[in-house]
Structure 1
Amino acid sequence: MDAGTAAVLGALAGSVATIGAALATGWAQREGARITARSEHRKERREPRYGVYKDFIAEASRMNDRVGLFTVTYDSFPFERIDVLFASRCEEAADAVKEKWIEVALAGPKEIAETASRLERLSNALIFRVLGLRQYVSGERVTDEEGMRRIRERIGREAEEFEQLLDKLIFLAQAALDDDGSLS
């Protein structure tokens, strides 16, 4: 190989290496900018989401506190506690869950919105059962001990499910708020 050919090949190899380095640098800068933009977007969404999640979790926790009575094992269930005031407080808590659920559904992400929707539907089911049990306890319906027991047990199962869903939502909310966008 003569010196002229070697010089041309050397220059060509240098050019190819320079072009490759420029492409790699451009790609890395574009990826860095994309990650930064995603991180900023998520940061901007994090603040409002925090407030929405906090309010919803507070209301769902209040509902959970109300129906938690049904998750405890009793020798003799305190049916006398299922009075007008108790039913009214449960109803208020379910209404607050429904009101805050809309905000969580809009704030997302999808898995949190779905879990919040399940909590909202379950709180509605729970309040209808509590109101039904209230009618039995107050004598508005014919007292049916077996019916009262079945309703109480069903409320207990649904209250346990509500508590588990609430725990799941809290963990999902923590993960969504911790996500800075740098991993995906």
Structure 2
Amino acid sequence: MDAGLAAVLGALAGAVATTGAAVATGWAAREQAKIAARGEHRRQRRDARQAVYEEFIELTEVLTDRVIKISDLSAPTFDQIHAAEADVWASWEGVRGVFTKVRLAGPDYVSQAAVEVRKSCTLVAVRMTAVKKCSSPDSRDPEELAGVKWVALTESLTQLIVEHGAFIGIAQVALDDDGTSK
């Protein structure tokens, strides 16, 4: 092989190697940028989710506390029950207001848990209204029926507390997801 041809082939090999290295470096840089962008997106999404989950949890706890407060009274008056019922429905409105945000924040398994919490909140509010109606001075319900309605309210409150605890656990799992496993 003559020296000129060897020089041309050597230069060509060097050019191909340099081009290959540049392509590989460019691809690696692009992948790194995608990973960084994906990580930043996940962080922003997680922060937004956390804020919405916290609000939902707090509003559910307010509703629960209002029912517990009236339930702890040995013989609540109609006025106390009436005020508690109004407070429970106001709390329910708060839960309902943030519920859509939780559903949008996702993921699906958190949304499903939020649906269960909202159903339980609704049942508690409806049963609180039933307790108020049977506690009214104008009520014709026998005392046994009023007791049954209190028991039903307590059962629905217990269910809400269970659903609320499950939601917290599920929300924690969603917030801990760093996207490294499927």
Common fold: TM-score over 0.5: yes
Q: Indicate which of 112, 122, 125 corresponds to 1:124.
A: 122
**Paired residues, number:** 155
- Secondary structure of the corresponding residue to residue 83 of structure 1: helix
Task: Name the residue aligned to 1:180.
Answer: 178
Task: Name the residue aligned to 2:53.
Answer: 53
CA distance in 2, matches of 1:176, 1:32: 25
Q: Does 1:94 pair with 2:92?
A: yes
CA distance in 2, matches of 1:70, 1:146: 19
Task: Name the residue aligned to 2:156.
Answer: 158
Deviates more, 1:110-119 or 1:38-47: 38-47
Gap runs ≥5 in structure 1: 1-24
Q: After superposition, give the CA deviation of every residue in 1:96-144 in whole Å (9 maximum; x if it has no partner).
A: 1111111101111111111111111221121111111111112232131
Task: Name the residue aligned to 1:106.
Answer: 104
Offset of 1:38 from its aligned partner? 4.7
CA distance in 2, matches of 1:71, 1:169: 24
Decide whether aligned partners of structure 1 residues 32 and 179 sit closer, same or farther in structure 2, where only a CA change above 3 A counts: farther
Amino acid at match of 2:126: F
TM-score between the two structures when normalised by the length of structure 1 = 0.73
Task: Name the residue aligned to 1:19.
Answer: none
Decide whether aligned partners of structure 1 residues 55 and 124 sit closer, same or farther in structure 2, where only a CA change above 3 A counts: same
Task: Name the residue aligned to 2:65.
Answer: 65
Q: Is the 8 A contact 2:67 2:84 kept in 1?
A: no
TM-score between the two structures when normalised by the length of structure 2 = 0.74
Task: Name the residue aligned to 2:141.
Answer: 143
Which one has more relative contact order, counting CA pairs under 8 Å at least 6 apart?
A: 1
Offset of 1:35 from its aligned partner? 6.2
CA distance in 1, matches of 2:35, 2:174: 17
- Secondary structure of the corresponding residue to residue 77 of structure 2: helix
- Secondary structure of the corresponding residue to residue 182 of structure 1: coil
Decide whether aligned partners of structure 1 residues 69 and 152 sit closer, same or farther in structure 2, where only a CA change above 3 A counts: farther
CA distance in 1, matches of 2:154, 2:178: 38
Gap runs ≥5 in structure 2: 1-23
Q: CA RMSD in A?
A: 2.7
Offset of 1:67 from its aligned partner? 2.1
Amino acid at match of 1:58: E
Q: Once the two structures are aligned, what percentage of the paired residues are identical?
A: 25
Deviates more, 1:85-94 or 1:140-149: 140-149
Task: Name the residue aligned to 2:11.
Answer: none
